[in-house]
Chain A
Amino acid sequence: MNVDLKIKIMKNSLKLFLVLSLIIASFSACNKDEETDPDLNATVYKDVNGVVTVTDKGKGTGTMTWTSDKIWVLNGLVFVNESQTLTIDPGTIIKGKPGQEVDASALIVARGGKVMANGTQSLPIIFTAEADQGNLSMNDRGLWGGVIILGKGKLNSNPGETAIEGIPTSEPRGLYGGNDDSDNSGVFTYVSIRHGGTDIGEGNEINGLTLGGVGSATIIDYVEVLANKDDGVEFFGGAPRLKHILVAYVGDDSYDYDEGFSGYGQFWIAVQDEAGGAGDRLGEHDGGTDPETAQPYAIPNIYNATYIGRGTAAGKRVITFRDNAGGKYYNSIFVNQAKGIDVEILEGAQNSYKQFEDGNLLINNCIFQNVADGTAAGIFKLSYPTDPPPGVDFQAKIDAAIPVWVAHFSNGSNTMENLGITASNPVPASGANSGVTPGDTWFTNVSYQGAFEPAGTNWAAGWTLFYETK
């Protein structure tokens, strides 16, 4: 018999003895006062020469301020728990420790928690990798996790509450979703998130900025996501409103939405890494999961986007609408990509193409510069499974739908133009007309297409790393 085994058997007998003694002890110790134990689950803030390592053991950051005189290092997943508020001063640098899977580091604002990250143009807040000494390149991806904000907004996934990708369901602080689309998770302005996107387990990577069920009262303005291994910004349901967002050189999709995202967006830029060969779609837009047709439908409104792709040789898409996703793009510019806008059509009645038929999916008043073969039929495509369901004449439906979708190119006042836009200078010299006026006062009423005023200033310059180096 091996020694371990012996020990275990002895341990077991000992356990039995201990249980018995405990029962006896509990009878005799009923009146004893409880001693106050030091809280073993409290978060550890370990400050070594101004570098504070934060280790969350279950109690979250607490309500406190992270100041710019120190560097804050995330050691593993660090949560802002429910009813806690984490304030981050302008100019503060937060770093994530390296490590994948269980060791991944990330800042997670849990449902009911708040982050007050009020950076300024001159003093942006920076989230980056621990290894970042200013020497990393824009090819250095996946060195830490990312920033995850979770709220009480509506999801169309079941049961209306989900664990965010990569966090085990046994961690209740990883759950998001609810009934309050106007939920407030705080303020997130002038923030740069760099070099994140580590693998959190079995094909899950952390997005630069993940917004799970975030509500519309949350302020998210002027955010840069740079060189993330996975998506730039990913929305899971909810109704957040984001302005002035730059996603550059990410490994996967630039803007990704799922689970019924129904927020607003204006002045979004995406720039893919043509030379380094990274990046998948500029926009990956999904509706529901199980079932895909669950309500509420994903119908966000996005104005003034400028998406710049990897060039025609890379074979990538501008936007895929699928799994019953809707969504409306107005006054936007799409540049330099092999494939255009794909809309999924399925045998069943409800799908993304149906959203288009119902007016919930629109591409209106947009400009395509060097996208696909430069024809309406080349830019506006339908996608469908090549494994047709048995006994159903699906092909007839596809054949009927294609010309209708292609006709939307001109019906929606979209054009093909060369505005001379490049990744290093996304500001067109001239051109752009006034286009469609947004219906909601949240939007800034501007008279141009794309994220920048023609011949105007680049609002992303001065606080982002991407336009600092360009």
Chain B
Amino acid sequence: MKYLQIVFFMFLAGNTLAQNGILSGKVIDEKSAEELIGTTIVVKGTTTGSITDFDGNYTLSLEPGIYSILCSYISYQTQVFEGIQIKAGEVTELNIQLGEVVMELDEVKVVAKGRQRTEAALQALQRKSAVVLDGISASHMSKMGDSDAAGALKRVTGVAVEGGKYVYVRGLSDRYSKTSLNGADIPGLDPNRNTVQMDLFPSNIIESIIVHKTFSADLPADFTGGHIDIVTNDFPAKFNLHISAKMEFNPQTNLNNNFNSYNGGKLDWLAIDDGTRGIPELANGQIPPRYTNDPLLDEITKSFNKIMEPESIKSFLNQSYSFALGDMLEVGSKVLGYNLAISYSNEYDYFDDGITGRYKLVDPGDQALTSQLRLDSDIKGVQDVLWSVLGNVNLKLNEFHKIGLLALHNHSGINTSRYQEGEKFSDEAGLYYQTRTLHFIQRGLSSAQLHGKHYFKSLSKLKTDWLSSFSYSTQKEPDLRYFTNSYRIMNGNNMYEIEPSLYPVPTRYYRDMKEYNFDNKLHFSIPFSFRGNSSRLKFGGSWVIKDREFIEKKFSFRENSNSYTGDITQYLDDSNINAAQGKLHASNSVSSDDRNSYNGFQSVIGAYISGDIQMLDKLRLVAGMRMELANISSESLKEDEKKGNLTNLDFLPSMNLVYLLMEKMNLRGAYYRTLARPTFRELAPFASFDFVGDYIFVGNADLQRTITDNMDMRWEYFFSPGEMISVSTFYKKFSDPIERTFNTEAANPELTLRNVDKASVYGVETELRLGLNFIPFLRDFMLGSNFTFIRSSVSIDKKELSLKREFDPNFPDTRVMFGQAPFIINGYLEYKNDTIGLDLNLSYNISGEKLHLVNAVGIPDVYQQPRGQMNFNISKSIGKQFSVKFAVYNILDSDYLSTYSYNSADYIFGKHSLGRYYSFAVKYSIK
């Protein structure tokens, strides 16, 4: 009830402020895009005005009406904007670019064409930036119907998002990407991945997402494809409040009586395990081995949860809700901005058409592959709950000093139930195999950031910004359950068995990961004049520390002879538990658990210096050098296991050139050196697998970091606000890249990672954003598209190659890079009519086939096949404060398909489809 009162109060607050309108925007230098601090913005002929702060931002509260706005700054040309309309309760955005005075001129008159969109502002940043940038803004995200950062990023040039979570820039895998929040490192929650899950960030907390595709010395050096910076809201122009609710229906998934799930815990809807999945208290430490005849063993066995198979339940609709508010208050002479965003979503995914296949080439001369495992029945239900709370407070002490504090907590819970069944021919013709996986992953990320920006006019106009960020993240996988059995058909009856010599006995894993991340950054920038042109010297440093603890505990359930009759409930029943009689009993090995558990520590100290120099009137150079001293260690808790330990001091030069070919047309060139470091998990001897019967993946303590030399060229033309065309080419040369390979000596199929000799990637990227207003009846249409074509080549691991060459002496010594798509295409068509508040959007994206699995001798590698995705949404504002939106996602419903290809036939490795999603959302906003 209290909750409602607060919300109600805020409504009122919003309405009382709604008499005036607000003019706000940013003033930047026309050439360098540097924010201009202390620019005067006044209503022409009055004294009503404001001064830009050190971000170049200004806000002006005005009564409704039409104004002429005058913008002036010493040594710059004064500009006048006529016909600026201020409406009650609305924000009019006016972003201004000032040019330096070449000779004394009268003021330049510009007639502003109504409100500029943030998209155009972002484009101005893109245009003026000295490095190659691409980005997407908050307004664009809401237009495209993106609910989180992952959805939005799909629309950026050369960006692909895998599984709705992980980002590939220019087709390079997430190993070569990096994500930061307001410039601060945040930990990746998935120990198998190098980057942050993008779906953790709901769009209502995001101001913009900037993708840095070239490196400059002030950025951390551990990216090659792209550095994605998520920028949160800072100072809202005025009070704003958003409440939205979305319901989504997928005929294959929602309201389905056969949804695959299990009784996990009462708080699953909050992404929190309520303890149901905890390790039974009795089972801590080494449990007594069976031969000891310790009666405690039966007690322990009985204390485990009895659920080890999925059941059918009814799923509800997908739901998501968000609430956000923000305001800017004047406290004395100081300005305080705050934002609060809360979001919650609870979504289901389901398929029952899955196929899993494993094949091999029996003889190099064979015409076809031979089936090893074919699971024709593959049913999977996933419930994904995600919630986040983010709050920030920013204080402008005066125009030149600002500090801010941000706190956030993201929480997600993914509950997966999977059932697979089919023939396992590799063991025996007529042997059927049934495997069940129950998996719950609970992830939490808490982060606090303190940051500040200062401008010291007296100290040679020194600008400094700093941040100190502390994050704590957890990943818990309590009670990951695998139950596998087989059966043979004899005289029409299924003869069930659990055969430990063919596959692991029923097993439960408990995994727990904690990671601390401490990031400190300090940047300085001093302007100076180079041949009369304004230039900047930048320098600074950073220290990032990561500390991870990963613990795995495993319990297996064994018996002396087979008592399994096909009924799991009966099998796990207390009456079947009796160690002394050789019946079912739990067992574990603390030493094995120790081997799989590890601690990781990483410290990276960085320092840089760079100059941003206007060399000639039309030529700008940013050149810098960054030094990084990194120390990474990853050690298993089992003492005699090999430890991963890397210490590297690297010097990383970078050079970016921008040449202004003509007004709004740039030619850019860049060279830079970056690196990629192995993750803790990759260095640890930890072994994991997806489902019983599949490949085991183990780390490698000998991994070294990869160095990459990069070259980029880009031509770009911003022919009108919001419209642009660009063509880029890039070339990347990797030394010692880390690639997936199989372990040639292992008795069972085992995948691992090794540094190989070298790799290279090159490609072309084009982008077009075009308004179709030149066609009369398509006045409000906008077309956007981008294409990226990439070629990659990586050396094959020496051991693997020598093996392959024994059978095929002509086997090439290179192949495409793991996970590298040969092309990425994004396109969208948009209709937007502000007068009637209607917005339609159709988007399509696809990326080419990617290497998914490297196979042993003669068996073709597995590729993930292209999967076109089309989304449509229509939104309409109703009155000033309401809007509704209807969307269809995954219109084509293409299969998720990965295949082996041999002798021009395709063999399915994995296949499923997720169905179409129809969603309806209502949004209430005050702004």
Contact of B631 among A12, A162, A280 (CB under 8 A): A12
Determine the distance from Cα of A290 to Cα of B361 in the docked complex, in whole angstroms.
8
- Chain A's nearest CB lies how many Å from the CB of B485? 13
Indicate if A89 sits at the interface (CB-CB under 8 A). Answer: no
Indicate if B243 sits at the interface (CB-CB under 8 A). Answer: no
Q: What are 16 sample pairs from A and B whose C-beta atoms fall under 8 A apart?
A: A1-B470, A9-B603, A101-B592, A102-B595, A131-B291, A169-B750, A205-B501, A277-B562, A280-B499, A291-B362, A293-B363, A293-B364, A338-B490, A385-B370, A390-B907, A391-B368
Which residues of B line the A interface, CB within 8 A? 289-292, 357, 360-371, 374, 423, 425, 428-430, 470, 488, 490, 495, 499-505, 516, 518, 545, 547, 556, 558, 560-562, 582, 587, 589, 591-592, 594-595, 601, 603, 631, 638, 642, 685, 687, 689, 696, 743-748, 750, 799, 802-803, 806-807, 856-859, 905-907
Across-interface contacts of A168 in B (CB, < 8 A): 685
Q: Chain A: which residue is nearest B802 at the CB level?
A: A159
Additional pairs, 14, CB under 8 Å, beyond known A102-B592, A338-B490 = A9-B545, A100-B589, A102-B591, A159-B806, A163-B745, A169-B750, A170-B642, A204-B747, A277-B562, A278-B561, A349-B363, A349-B365, A350-B363, A350-B365
**Which 8 pairs from chain A and chain B are nearest by CB?**
A389-B368, A348-B366, A131-B291, A293-B363, A101-B592, A383-B429, A387-B371, A252-B501
Contact between A387 and B423 (Cβ–Cβ < 8 Å)?
Answer: yes
Q: Chain B: which residue is nearest A349 at the CB level?
A: B365
Contact of B748 among A1, A202, A384 (CB under 8 A): A202
- Chain B's nearest CB lies how many Å from the CB of A206? 11
Of A142, A291, A338, A391, the most chain B CB neighbours within 10 A belong to A291
Indicate if A292 sits at the interface (CB-CB under 8 A). Answer: yes
Of A102, A347, A351, the most chain B CB neighbours within 10 A belong to A102
Contact between A169 and B746 (Cβ–Cβ < 8 Å)?
Answer: yes
Contact between B582 and A140 (Cβ–Cβ < 8 Å)?
Answer: yes
Q: Chain B: which residue is nearest A158 at the CB level?
A: B803
Q: A99-B589, A390-B905 are in contact. Are A347 and B488 (CB under 8 A)?
A: no
Contact between A159 and B687 (Cβ–Cβ < 8 Å)?
Answer: no
Q: A204-B748, A391-B905 are in contact. Are A291 and B364 (CB under 8 A)?
A: yes
Q: Chain A 319-345, CB within 8 Å of chain B: the 1/0 string? A: 010011000000000000010001010
- Chain A's nearest CB lies how many Å from the CB of B803? 5
- Chain A's nearest CB lies how many Å from the CB of B904? 9
Indicate if A166 sits at the interface (CB-CB under 8 A). Answer: yes
Q: Chain A 81-101, CB within 8 Å of chain B: the 1/0 string? A: 000000000000000001111
Contact between B370 and A389 (Cβ–Cβ < 8 Å)?
Answer: yes
Determine the distance from Cα of A163 to Cα of B746 in the docked complex, in whole angstroms.
6
Contact of B428 among A143, A292, A320 (CB under 8 A): A320
Across-interface contacts of B589 in A (CB, < 8 A): 99-103
Of B363, B430, B746, the most chain A CB neighbours within 10 A belong to B363
Across-interface contacts of B747 in A (CB, < 8 A): 162-166, 204
Across-interface contacts of A166 in B (CB, < 8 A): 747
Contact between A203 and B502 (Cβ–Cβ < 8 Å)?
Answer: yes
Of B291, B292, B369, B503, the most chain A CB neighbours within 10 A belong to B291
Indicate if A30 sits at the interface (CB-CB under 8 A). Answer: no
- Chain B's nearest CB lies how many Å from the CB of A331? 28
Q: A158-B806, A202-B504, A349-B365 are in contact. Are A290 and B857 (CB under 8 A)?
A: yes
Contact between A385 and B371 (Cβ–Cβ < 8 Å)?
Answer: yes
Across-interface contacts of A99 in B (CB, < 8 A): 289, 589, 591
Contact between B905 and A291 (Cβ–Cβ < 8 Å)?
Answer: no
Contact of B516 among A2, A143, A161 (CB under 8 A): A2
Determine the distance from Cα of A430 to Cα of B480 in the docked complex, in whole angstroms.
58
Q: Chain B: which residue is nearest A278 at the CB level?
A: B561
Contact between B429 and A205 (Cβ–Cβ < 8 Å)?
Answer: no
Q: Chain A: which residue is nearest B603 at the CB level?
A: A12
Across-interface contacts of B806 in A (CB, < 8 A): 158-159
Q: A159-B799, A166-B747, A175-B745 are in contact. Are A324 and B362 (CB under 8 A)?
A: yes
- Chain B's nearest CB lies how many Å from the CB of A80? 20
Of B357, B500, B687, the most chain A CB neighbours within 10 A belong to B500
Contact of B503 among A203, A230, A293, A323 (CB under 8 A): A203
Which residues of A line the B interface, CB within 8 A? 1-2, 4-5, 8-9, 12, 15, 98-103, 129, 131, 139-143, 158-159, 161-166, 168-170, 175, 199, 201-205, 229-231, 251-253, 273, 276-278, 280, 290-293, 315, 320, 323-324, 338, 342, 344, 346-351, 383-387, 389-392
Contact between A5 and B545 (Cβ–Cβ < 8 Å)?
Answer: yes
Q: A290-B858, A291-B858 are in contact. Are A100 and B592 (CB under 8 A)?
A: yes
Contact of B859 among A141, A162, A290, A347 (CB under 8 A): A290
Mostly helix, strand, loop or mixed at chain A's interface? loop
Contact between A291 and B363 (Cβ–Cβ < 8 Å)?
Answer: yes
- Chain B's nearest CB lies how many Å from the CB of A305? 21
Contact of A348 among B291, B363, B687, B857 (CB under 8 A): B363
- Chain A's nearest CB lies how many Å from the CB of B92? 46
Contact of B696 among A139, A169, A202 (CB under 8 A): A202
Determine the distance from Cα of A278 to Cα of B559 in the docked complex, in whole angstroms.
11
Determine the distance from Cα of A31 to Cα of B152 in the docked complex, in whole angstroms.
66
Q: Chain A: which residue is nearest B373 at the CB level?
A: A387
Determine the distance from Cα of A417 to Cα of B502 in the docked complex, in whole angstroms.
34
Contact between B429 and A347 (Cβ–Cβ < 8 Å)?
Answer: no
- Chain A's nearest CB lies how many Å from the CB of B377? 13
Determine the distance from Cα of A342 to Cα of B364 in the docked complex, in whole angstroms.
24
Contact between B592 and A103 (Cβ–Cβ < 8 Å)?
Answer: yes
Contact between B857 and A158 (Cβ–Cβ < 8 Å)?
Answer: yes
Contact between A347 and B366 (Cβ–Cβ < 8 Å)?
Answer: yes
Q: Chain B: which residue is nearest A136 at the CB level?
A: B291
Determine the distance from Cα of A38 to Cα of B365 in the docked complex, in whole angstroms.
57
Across-interface contacts of A290 in B (CB, < 8 A): 360, 856-859
Determine the distance from Cα of A278 to Cα of B562 in the docked complex, in whole angstroms.
7
Determine the distance from Cα of A108 to Cα of B689 in the docked complex, in whole angstroms.
28
Contact between B369 and A386 (Cβ–Cβ < 8 Å)?
Answer: no
- Chain B's nearest CB lies how many Å from the CB of A456? 33
Determine the distance from Cα of A339 to Cα of B825 in the docked complex, in whole angstroms.
57
- Chain B's nearest CB lies how many Å from the CB of A56? 11
Q: Chain A: which residue is nearest B582 at the CB level?
A: A139
Determine the distance from Cα of A103 to Cα of B366 in the docked complex, in whole angstroms.
42
Contact between B748 and A165 (Cβ–Cβ < 8 Å)?
Answer: yes
- Chain B's nearest CB lies how many Å from the CB of A23? 14
Determine the distance from Cα of A201 to Cα of B556 in the docked complex, in whole angstroms.
11
Q: A5-B545, A202-B504, A205-B501 are in contact. Are A346 and B362 (CB under 8 A)?
A: yes
- Chain A's nearest CB lies how many Å from the CB of B353? 17
Across-interface contacts of A4 in B (CB, < 8 A): 547
Determine the distance from Cα of A159 to Cα of B807 in the docked complex, in whole angstroms.
11
Contact between A385 and B857 (Cβ–Cβ < 8 Å)?
Answer: no
Q: A5-B547, A102-B592, A315-B488 are in contact. Are A348 and B368 (CB under 8 A)?
A: yes
Across-interface contacts of B365 in A (CB, < 8 A): 348-350
Across-interface contacts of A158 in B (CB, < 8 A): 744, 803, 806, 857
Contact between A140 and B560 (Cβ–Cβ < 8 Å)?
Answer: yes
Across-interface contacts of B423 in A (CB, < 8 A): 385-387
Across-interface contacts of B547 in A (CB, < 8 A): 2, 4-5, 8
Across-interface contacts of A320 in B (CB, < 8 A): 428
Determine the distance from Cα of A342 to Cα of B430 in the docked complex, in whole angstroms.
12
Contact between A98 and B289 (Cβ–Cβ < 8 Å)?
Answer: yes
Determine the distance from Cα of A2 to Cα of B290 in the docked complex, in whole angstroms.
40
Across-interface contacts of B429 in A (CB, < 8 A): 342, 344, 383-386
Contact between B504 and A203 (Cβ–Cβ < 8 Å)?
Answer: yes
- Chain A's nearest CB lies how many Å from the CB of B340? 27
Determine the distance from Cα of A392 to Cα of B367 in the docked complex, in whole angstroms.
9
Contact of A389 among B502, B689, B905 (CB under 8 A): B905
Contact between A346 and B905 (Cβ–Cβ < 8 Å)?
Answer: no
Across-interface contacts of B594 in A (CB, < 8 A): 102
Determine the distance from Cα of A292 to Cα of B360 in the docked complex, in whole angstroms.
9
Q: Chain A: which residue is nearest B590 at the CB level?
A: A103
Contact between B799 and A348 (Cβ–Cβ < 8 Å)?
Answer: no
- Chain A's nearest CB lies how many Å from the CB of B754? 12
- Chain A's nearest CB lies how many Å from the CB of B726? 44
Across-interface contacts of B696 in A (CB, < 8 A): 202
